[in-house]
């Protein structure tokens, strides 16, 4: 869909103009201690923007696509009664489709956009794009650079190597930066979730380096490539 492509293009443009250029400028600051705060801001901005992209994509797939996600959304109100008054008001409105679309968007916001970041990504990939859950759950991500491979053998268990797990890990670090009251630690609720669902015990303290930003950016780029073109990396050297 045209709207999907436009959203992806906007995110790519943001990533290239704002994130890549920021990383380059920060790299010119030789002392790590002098750029730590700025690195955290850039990282948080990147993760936030990808989360917004997820929300907007789900809104489009739930209202303008004829696939499974729209059916899943509408199932939420299958047992809801509507009065004839409300029904006629929608039909008699100047643009009944616009009104109906707004109602469905409200459903999506209430039932899906409030979900955990990684759950929204799973909904997008599994339900909207028909990706097999096994493709999302098995080890595929190199945490050192954020690349998604056909398969990957993880080293250590501090970072989830699956697509969904790695996305959750990135957002959990963002949560610690935003809601951690300056402590720079992974929130206990996120740490418990990562350990329970993905069987990984993340590092207690959050360290954001330039490589952290670059890895997250690379990961999101691979996801955008799949959303736009429908193809996963075919080899370890995928770029």
pTM above 0.85, yes or no: yes
Is residue 239 domain-resident?
A: no
Parallel, antiparallel, or unpaired: how do β-strands 147-148 and 141-142 relate?
A: antiparallel
**239 — pLDDT class (breaks 50, 70, 90):** very low
Is residue 238 domain-resident?
A: no
Of all residues in the chain, the percent with pLDDT exceeding 90 is 72
Q: In which domain, by residue range, is 195 found? A: 2-229
Domain count, the chain: 1
Is residue 235 domain-resident?
A: no
Is residue 237 domain-resident?
A: no
Of all residues in the chain, the percent with pLDDT exceeding 70 is 97
pLDDT for 236 equals: 53
Is residue 142 domain-resident?
A: yes
Is residue 147 domain-resident?
A: yes
pLDDT over 60 at 237, yes or no: no
Distance CA 13, CA 6 (A): 10
Whose structure tokens read 């492509």? 5
Whose structure tokens read 């429908």? 230
Is residue 236 domain-resident?
A: no
Whose structure tokens read 């799949």? 226
The first and second tokens of residue 172, run together, are 């959990």
User: How many other CB atoms sit within 10 Å of the CB of residue 235?
Assistant: 7
**199 — pLDDT class (breaks 50, 70, 90):** very high
């Amino acid at each position: 869909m045209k709207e999907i492509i436009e959203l992806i293009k906007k995110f790519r443009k943001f990533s290239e103009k704002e994130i890549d250029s920021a990383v380059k400028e920060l790299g010119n600051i030789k002392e790590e201690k002098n750029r730590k705060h700025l690195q955290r801001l850039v990282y948080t901005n990147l993760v936030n923007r990808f989360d917004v992209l997820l929300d907007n994509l789900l809104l489009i797939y739930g209202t303008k696509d004829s696939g499974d996600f729209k059916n899943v959304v509408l199932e939420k109100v299958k047992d809801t009664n509507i009065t004839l008054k409300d029904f006629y008001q929608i039909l008699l409105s100047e643009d009944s489709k616009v009104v109906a679309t707004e109602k469905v968007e409200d459903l999506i916001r209430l039932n899906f956009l409030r979900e955990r970041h990684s759950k929204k990504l799973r909904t997008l990939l599994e339900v909207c794009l028909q990706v097999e859950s096994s493709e999302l759950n098995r080890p595929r991500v190199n945490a050192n650079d954020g690349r998604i491979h056909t398969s990957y053998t993880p080293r250590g268990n501090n970072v989830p190597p699956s697509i969904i797990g790695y996305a959750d890990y990135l957002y959990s670090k963002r949560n610690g930066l935003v809601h951690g009251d300056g402590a720079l630690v992974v929130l206990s609720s996120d740490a418990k979730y990562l350990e329970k669902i993905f069987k990984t015990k993340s590092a207690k303290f959050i360290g954001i380096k330039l490589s952290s930003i670059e890895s997250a950016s690379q990961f999101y780029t691979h996801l955008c490539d799949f959303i736009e073109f429908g193809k996963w990396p075919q080899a370890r050297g995928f770029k």
